[in-house]
Amino acid sequence: MPKKSIKTVVTANKESNAQSDSGIVIREIKKEELGKAASLVARLKRLNGEFDPLLKTTDSLDSEAQKTVERVASNSDSLIMVALVGSKVVGVVKADLKDRTFYEPRREGAIDEFYILPEFRRGSLGKDLLASISEKLKGRGAELITAEFPSQNEIAKRFYTKLGFRSLTNVYAKAES
Amino acid sequence: MPGNKKTLDTSKLAIEYSRYYQGKMQTAPKVPVTSLDDFSIWYTPGVAAVSLAVAKNPELSFQYTNRWNMLCILTDGSRVLGLGDIGPEGSLPVMEGKALIYKYLGGVDAIPIPVSAHEPEKIIQFALDIQPAFGAIHLEDIASPKCFRILEELKQKLTIPVWHDDQQGTAGVILAGLYNSLILTDRKLRNAKIVLMGAGAANIAAAKLLISAGASAGNLILVDSKGILQPEREDMDRMMLQNKWKYELALSTNAERREGNIDEAVEGADALIAASKPGPDVLSRSTLKKMNKGAILFALSNPVPEIWPKDAKEAGVRIVATGRSDFPNQVNNSLIFPSVIRGVLDVKSKAVPDEVIIAGAKELAQYAERDGSLTDEHILPTMMDREIYPLVAAAVGDSCVKLGISRINLTRKQIQRRAEEIIQKTQKMIDTLQKSNLIEPTSKVPAGKNRRK
């Protein structure tokens, strides 16, 4: 029985900078890219808002995204990777390393932000970006990769399923007001 | 607003006439009936043999019944004229009018079918279910973006042509007008920089048809109420989920990745096709002045174009077309839909793909060019040019035959003759009914008569 219940994809390129045929560079985020990454995170939240009224974004979304990205970037248990075309940030993925305490395998790499600009979605960038962060997370001890997204997001569901992921836990919500 | 009084007047007459005539269309026999005995042929027992033959080979329904000439005008009344969602009953007078135009100009037996279903999947299922009775389906006045999905799915699933006039009809006649405007201004479609203002059914379909016809997607720029369509707009994800047709165009057009609004879009543009909202101040002279020399403007909003033609001309635009008949260059669906449907019905086509619409648009454009009447003020024939209908029908039918989607193979000349014959026969029938008072003159309408002082 393998330790990982969910398969992850391994990038062919073990270098820290993986460059694909399309000239897109994937690597860990640099300080000067935080602003652009934050704007992509804000886009992701707006996209989430399309799937469920309980994911409606707040008016302060943009500034909150900026603060969150800055905070996360300085957190040693978190990881942000970007996809770049030249100096332009076209994709971002963020994950946290977590201890699962009660379950095995114990070390989880939990992806909770993942966004690629529309124009760059058609090729294999999504797959490559996921593979790159999975590789990094494994390097830091993760034995399990998880990804979180809105229940109604069929596109994400298809994407992860195709790459060998399956549904693990569910979050059910009910507004009380 | 010019024509306002006339509009009020025609509104009043339309109500009075409708009350008097109680509908614009009826059914009529096309076989001789001299005595009840004839029904032993037209109906039971004779008809059973015909039914059995058709049951054995359903394709015979295009030969042994009137199916080959029957068109279903299908709507849910969700976007009728400029009136919005007025429901299926509300749409019926418009659909009857469309059926009348079909009969009068194209000799097509069109049946108005407004349905109470609103969900795309229900409308799609309805069209599939009703298909056995018809030679083609005409979708009319269905709101965007559901009209895109309905058309797209029906194109895949039906084995008869499906036509959405607000998409293909408008796009077809825009293309025809543009072909001639480009000739007049010595431009080529593949190099032309074209801006489309408004991203509803008409312009999304126009953009797609222009690309099919050879325009470079990168040279097109679409502008909607939020500005220039480009892949990094904030609403792209919403568009992806709600209007994937517009989303696709946001990705494939605008190679320069321009951002901003109409002013930024038209900078250096050769043509501007506006199908946005009623003017006259939607487009300004200063905007049009940013266009290239010899600019082309189609200001298609009704009842008032985005800018008055006079003002557009003063701003340096060379060719101006509108949706109205009281200005030169009317871009009018009626120039194309009766003949496209005539053409596909005459060859019993299974579909009406873009290539076929392009063939029809080319024929329509060439008609204005052929007789030497092509000028800046005359880029398209008018509905008075009755010869265009069989000519365009022939181009359309011929294109279906060449694409291998027709059920019968006729030559272009044969299709044209057949179309001419059907249209002439229909007009003769209408004349005869009027002469014999079976269709009464409007002077008989009590209120209408009083108006004729």
Number of domains in chain A: 1
Give the sheet arrangement for strand A78-85, strand by strand: A18-19, A24-28, A78-85, A88-99, A107-116, A144-147
Q: How many CB pairs under 8 A join A and B?
A: 23
* Residue B12 is assigned to a structural domain of this protein: no
- Determine which of A14-18, A42-46, B205-209, B377-381 has the lowest per-residue pLDDT on average: A14-18
Query: Would you say residue B453 has pLDDT above 50?
Result: no
* Residue A15 is assigned to a structural domain of this protein: no
* Residue B328 is assigned to a structural domain of this protein: no
Domain boundary among B158, B193, B218: B158
* Residue A135 is assigned to a structural domain of this protein: yes
Do B151 and B200 reside in the same domain of the chain?
no
CATH of the domain at A138: 3.40.630.30
User: With an 8 Å Cβ cutoff, are B237 and A119 in contact?
Assistant: no
Do B188 and B317 reside in the same domain of the chain?
yes
pLDDT tens track for B363-395 = 999 998 877 789 999 999 998 999 999 999 999
* Residue B378 is assigned to a structural domain of this protein: yes
* Residue B219 is assigned to a structural domain of this protein: yes
For the question of residue B428 being annotated catalytic, the response is no
Q: Which domain holds residue A85?
A: 20-162
Using the Cα atoms of residue B246, residue B248, residue B253 and residue B254 in order, give the sign of their dihedral: positive
* Residue B190 is assigned to a structural domain of this protein: yes
Percent of chain B's residues with pLDDT above 90: 92
* Residue B282 is assigned to a structural domain of this protein: yes
Do B359 and B230 reside in the same domain of the chain?
no
From the list B231, B238, B241, which residue is nearest A117 (CB)? B231
From the list B232, B241, B251, which residue is nearest A50 (CB)? B241
* Residue A122 is assigned to a structural domain of this protein: yes
User: With an 8 Å Cβ cutoff, are A46 and B240 in contact?
Assistant: no
Residue A49, min C-alpha distance to chain B (Å): 9
Percent of chain B's residues with pLDDT above 70: 97
* Residue A116 is assigned to a structural domain of this protein: yes
Using alpha carbons only, give the angle B114, B136, B178 rounded to the nearest 5 degrees.
95
pLDDT tens track for B23-34 = 999 999 999 999
* Residue A137 is assigned to a structural domain of this protein: yes
* Residue B44 is assigned to a structural domain of this protein: no
Regarding predicted confidence, which is higher, A21 or B137? B137
Residue A50 contacts B, CB cutoff 8 Å: yes
Query: Of the residues B30, B43, B310, B444, which is catalytic?
Result: B43
* Residue B93 is assigned to a structural domain of this protein: yes
pLDDT of A4 reads 35
From the list A47, A50, A119, which residue is nearest B231 (CB)? A119
Sorting pLDDT into bands at 50, 70 and 90, what band is A23? Answer: confident
* Residue A2 is assigned to a structural domain of this protein: no
- DSSP letters along B49-111, please? HHHHHHHH-GGGHHHHSGGGGEEEEEE-SSSBTTTB--HHHHHHHHHHHHHHHHHHHH--EEE
User: With an 8 Å Cβ cutoff, are A118 and B237 in contact?
Assistant: yes
pLDDT of B30 reads 93
Residue A41, min C-alpha distance to chain B (Å): 12
CATH of the domain at B76: 3.40.50.10380
Do B102 and B184 reside in the same domain of the chain?
no
User: With an 8 Å Cβ cutoff, are B241 and A117 in contact?
Assistant: no
Domain boundary among B288, B322, B356: B322
Amino acid symbol at B397: G
User: With an 8 Å Cβ cutoff, are B232 and A117 in contact?
Assistant: yes
Number of domains in chain B: 3
Sequence-ordered alpha helix ranges (H) in A18-149? 34-51, 61-73, 125-139
Is residue B233 within 8 A of residue B257, CB to CB? The reply is no
Domain boundary among B133, B158, B183: B158
Do B178 and B309 reside in the same domain of the chain?
yes
ipTM of the complex: 0.86
Q: Is A5 helix (H, G, I), strand (E, B) or coil?
A: coil
Q: Which domain holds residue B104?
A: 57-158
- What DSSP state is assigned to residue A61? H
pLDDT tens track for A139-148 = 999 999 999 9
Residue A52 contacts B, CB cutoff 8 Å: no
Amino acid symbol at B91: S
For testing the chain A interface, which of B232, B244, B247 should be mutated: the one with the most A CBs within 10 Å?
B232
For the question of residue B56 being annotated catalytic, the response is no
From the list B238, B241, B251, which residue is nearest A119 (CB)? B251
pLDDT of B447 reads 65
Is residue B261 within 8 A of residue B285, CB to CB? The reply is no
Q: Name the nearest CA neighbour of B393 among B335, B332, B351.
A: B335
Residue A175, min C-alpha distance to chain B (Å): 24
